[in-house]
Amino acid sequence: MTDFSCADFGCAPPVEDDREYVLGDYEGPVARWCPGCGDHSILTAVEKLLVAEQLKPEQTMFVSGIGCSSRFPHYLKTYGFHGIHGRALPVATGIKLHRPDLNVFVVMGDGDCCSIGAAHWVHAIRYNMNMVAMLLDNSIYGLTKKQTSPTTPQGFKTNTQPYGSFLPPLNPLTTMLGTTNVSFVAQTAEWIPAHLYATLKAAYHHRGLAFVRVLQRCPMYTVSLYEQAVKNPSLIEMLVHDDGVLTPELDAIYRERRTHDPSDINAARQLADDTDRIRLGVFFRDEHRPCYDEIRRPTKITASERIALLNKELDRYAV
Amino acid sequence: MAVPTAMLADDTTAIPLPSVIQLAEHTLEIVSDSGEGAQKCGQIFGSVSAKMGNGVWTVEIIPAEIQPPPRTPEGASGNRIRIGSRAVTNWGDQVQLVVAFNEQVLLSRHRIGALADNAIILVENLWATHPNPDIQKAWQQALGELATRRYRIIEVPMEEQCLTIDENPRKGKNMFALGLLAYIYDRSLARIEDQIAYTFRKKSEEVYQRNVALLHLGYDWATANLDFRIEVATSTSDKPLVVMNGNEALALGALASGMELCAMYPITPATSVSHFLAEVFEKFGGILHQAEDEIAAAGVAIGASYAGKVAFTVTSGPGLALKTEFIGLAVMTETPLVVIDVQRGGPSTGLPTKVEQSDLLAALFAQPGDAPRIVIAPSTIEECFHSVITARRLAEVFRTVVMVLSDANLATGVQPFPRPELLAEWQASEPDLAPLPPDTRPYEWNSRTGLSPRILPGQPNGMFTVTGLAHDERSKVAYGSGVHQRSSAMRSRKLAVLQQMLTPPVINGDPDGGDLLIVGWGSTRGAIEEAVDRARAKGQSVSSLHLTFLSPLEPGLTAIFKRFKKVATVEINYSDEPTDPFITPENRRRGQLAWLLRAETLVDVDCWTRVPGEPLRPGAIAEAITRLIDNEGGM
């Protein structure tokens, strides 16, 4: 996700140490999500990834918005930025532009990303900066107690649409796959830890913005949402490919498999558009799309160089 | 060739030497339809005048649309330039000379009282004989209306002349007009040519040559046809000077401050700050990020600031409104941030291109919850430059938001000032990513001052999660009443500490007191002080003070105010007149600074404010001073 060191942006490198990081180096305080919340398993998968990749906790940043899932950074011992509703992506953009040496992960909920923050979502995909973005999609506003979200299924009863959600849900996958400069779109599920982990790992190693939608249940308000799929693995189709996600350990359980080449965006769009089946895996990946943070990388200058340059600018205005 | 009606000499008579009118100062305007380049002409004239040693102040006359209908009073676009033999601090009262590309834009200036009664008018006479009878009629009607005043109208065959050089006179009239002005005010043609070269540096050599030819054409026509010249003595400064507009000064100040990231979204009249930065910022190791919206611009700046050197965002009123929630986050998380607000008329979309000072209270208070932040306002072009350097430093030291309130008057106004001697200490230092002692707390508030050192991501042992939720010293979410009480106090205390470091404002006039004290802030300084100086010269007991710090307020105000019989603010924002229907002292809406000063000092501060969509004229302020003194103890 990052090929920079501190020296690349002009500040002193941190003290090197070759210690091995263990789970305890990343684990924060006990998470205060409801028992049974999908966020727990996502946090576990992320911690596992951090250990596996041996990411320095001080070089790693989790940026979130507002909502249940946005408490995520509080439960890690890395740096975290728990900002305001819908605006995790702009904050992460600023961090990554200024500090390309940091590993930046963005954690958002469905209301956060697809509703109040939708403008930033589309543009972050186009910026395609080197970050991992996770959409923790439980199809409901949980923290504010059961209001319709953009991904709430049609007809689903909530406190704001008590006779059932009026409209078909927004499809985050087709939205992203239709956005210019998209470079990585994957879908996984919170109740399949091995797939979740493998998907996050693929996302981490992607060049560009790796966007992972994690299907998730809210144990309070959308407990029935994926009930059938959890019980019956045949309702899920795994997208498999050497360039995508392979989870051989799950093959015995998830027998519905489709070989999908993630470089084929048209096939990806078709598969994403067909919502009769739950499909997990990498829908699309292209590592050769322009990354805004790589394009916007000015050479750092010293204070005296700045003064010399500025004097030249002032010469233009000299009387 | 059409002969100007004002000229009586016929072709056989030798041209008499022009009479030279010597003046200490002169104010002129050049107005055209939008897109005819009057502004460019005015800008070049202003810059060259400054470079030749005149005091200069320029103001742009801008319609809100890019191409409003031609030949309409509402579409007038151009520039006012006031030049003097000494420093000029404001746009003055009325113009003594105007160059107009058609009679309709001229009428607009006449109707709003911009023209002095004896103004000299140089107007394109193409319209007098235009094939369209409606236009001919409009011309005649306009001249009839103008004849009610003692203007001296000189008809100039601009288009006819320009056609000898360029088949599209609409593109070249401005340079012809510049030539007229160069002759009248005896400006150096070599300097003007240099300035043309700079202005059109992105265009071809051919464009430059054509513009220079048009300049000379205008100059030669004026030489042959005008019987007067105006001389405003120049003086050479012993200090090197620079001349620029306020937005350029803000951008240069940002460069001098060492900030390396500006995130913005296009908005009038702030955008030209980013135009300047877009050209040069990368050379300075900086990034100008045009965000997807105003909110994202604030978010990107906050993210960048949080992670490294302080960053900034530039906006105007509507954008400031959109950034409100993020500004609260920066205050709450104690993330340094510089927000530059180039104010325009409001509320809502308001007057996008016109000056107003009506964002003061929004800058101070627009926020749910208590969100103390620093607010400063430059009052000159020079202060625009320095205010950004100050803002960056304050943001970093006090770990908070610093708002810089400029306005449309400063943004496009051009004024010379002493060339700054650049200092390395103005610049942000490189981020220090040294390991921290174990168990370092992210908000290690000094209980007395509220100040705490900033931790940057990348620092070993410093890991914590920033949150906009109420939090304790460890940045842990904490809803306990004691925690919120203390953290609120710490964020507030910082402003009190800053206030104690400030010096009381300097009084222009009599520090011991008098009948009236005028208090101003921002771009009105020059006009207020000129008005006060005129009033004092007439024997009126009036003084003024001008505030740079609006939050915290500069110290000692109550004591100063008590030395004057009456205190009143002069501002470009709305207030009710005491004599308006239904208005009583209890329901009267007052100027925004007056509102603030009354609350902070318990002094019965009055105000005189206007929202004319243009800068205040010193003459109008001088009249207000007389009324305020006469009405002493009134409302």
Q: Which pair of tokens denotes residue B70? A: 């031609």
Instruction: Identify whether residues B246 and B321 lie together within a single domain.
Output: yes
Cα separation, B3 vs B221, in Å, equals 11
What are the chain B neighbours of A10 within 8 Å (beta carbons)?
Answer: 285, 430
Strand, helix or coil for residue A248: helix
Domain positions in chain A? 6-316
pLDDT exceeds 60 at position A214:
yes
- Which of B517, B525, B556, B400 is CA-nearest to residue B90? B525
Instruction: Report whether B34 contacts B65 (CB < 8 A).
Output: yes
Residues A149-179 as b or e (16 or more Cβ within 10 Å = b): bbbbbeebebeebeeebeeebbbbbbbbbeb
In the prediction, which pLDDT does B202 show?
85
In the prediction, which pLDDT does A4 show?
61
Mean pLDDT of the region A119-136: 98
In the prediction, which pLDDT does B99 show?
97
Measured in angstroms, the CA of B176 and the nearest CA of chain A are apart by 24
Q: B615 lies in a domain?
A: yes
Torsion of CA B451, B456, B462, B468, to 10 degrees: 70
Instruction: Render pLDDT for A93-110 as a digit per residue (tens, 0 to 9).
Output: 999 999 999 999 999 999
Cα separation, A94 vs B273, in Å, equals 19
Instruction: Identify whether residues B192 and B48 lie together within a single domain.
Output: yes
Topology annotation, domain A6-316? Rossmann fold (3.40.50)
Q: B3 lies in a domain?
A: no
Cα separation, B473 vs B486, in Å, equals 10
Q: Do A57 and B329 touch (CB under 8 A)?
A: no
Instruction: Identify whether residues B480 and B621 lie together within a single domain.
Output: no
Q: B427 lies in a domain?
A: no
In the prediction, which pLDDT does B5 show?
41
What are the chain B neighbours of A74 within 8 Å (beta carbons)?
Answer: 465, 467, 476-477
Instruction: Identify whether residues B497 and B514 lie together within a single domain.
Output: no
| Of residues B284, B298, B465, nearest to A309 (C-beta) | B284
Burial of B530 (C-beta count, 10 Å sphere; 0-12/13-18/19+) = buried
Instruction: Report whether B400 contacts B491 (CB < 8 A).
Output: yes
| Of residues B291, B308, B435, nearest to A90 (C-beta) | B291
Torsion of CA B219, B223, B224, B225, to 10 degrees: 90
Domain boundary pick from B232, B251, B280: B232
Instruction: Report whether B333 contacts B500 (CB < 8 A).
Output: no
Strand, helix or coil for residue A151: coil
Cα separation, B494 vs B491, in Å, equals 6
Domain boundary pick from B447, B481, B501: B501
Residue B165 sits at the chain A interface (C-beta within 8 Å): no
pLDDT exceeds 60 at position A9:
no
Mean pLDDT of the region A251-272: 97
Q: Which residues of chain B have pLDDT under 70?
A: 1-17, 64, 169, 632-635
Q: B594 lies in a domain?
A: yes
Residue of A27, A50, A79, A107 best to disrupt the B interface, most CBs of B under 10 A: A79
Instruction: Report whether B517 contacts B566 (CB < 8 A).
Output: yes
Domain boundary pick from B480, B501, B522: B501
How are beta strands A79-82 and A131-137 bridged, if at all?
Answer: unpaired
How are beta strands A278-285 and B152-156 bridged, if at all?
Answer: unpaired
Instruction: Identify whether residues B402 and B462 lie together within a single domain.
Output: no
In the prediction, which pLDDT does B199 show?
86
Residue B257 sits at the chain A interface (C-beta within 8 Å): no
Q: B355 lies in a domain?
A: yes
Q: Do A84 and B329 touch (CB under 8 A)?
A: yes
Measured in angstroms, the CA of B163 and the nearest CA of chain A are apart by 33
In the prediction, which pLDDT does A3 show?
59
Q: Do A73 and B465 touch (CB under 8 A)?
A: yes
Model confidence at A17, in pLDDT bands (50, 70, 90)?
low
Q: What is the domain-level CATH number for residue B173?
A: 3.40.920.10
In the prediction, which pLDDT does A1 show?
59
Cα separation, B627 vs B635, in Å, equals 12
Strand, helix or coil for residue B45: helix
Measured in angstroms, the CA of A94 and the nearest CA of chain B are apart by 4
Strand, helix or coil for residue A153: coil
Cα separation, B306 vs B285, in Å, equals 18
Instruction: Identify whether residues B533 and B485 lie together within a single domain.
Output: no
- Count: domains in chain B: 4
Q: Which pair of tokens denotes residue A89? A: 């992506």
Q: B428 lies in a domain?
A: no
Q: B338 lies in a domain?
A: yes
Segment (H or E) for B304 = helix B294-307
In the prediction, which pLDDT does B584 show?
97
Instruction: Identify whether residues B517 and B396 lie together within a single domain.
Output: no
Which domain covers residue B483, as residue numbers? 434-501
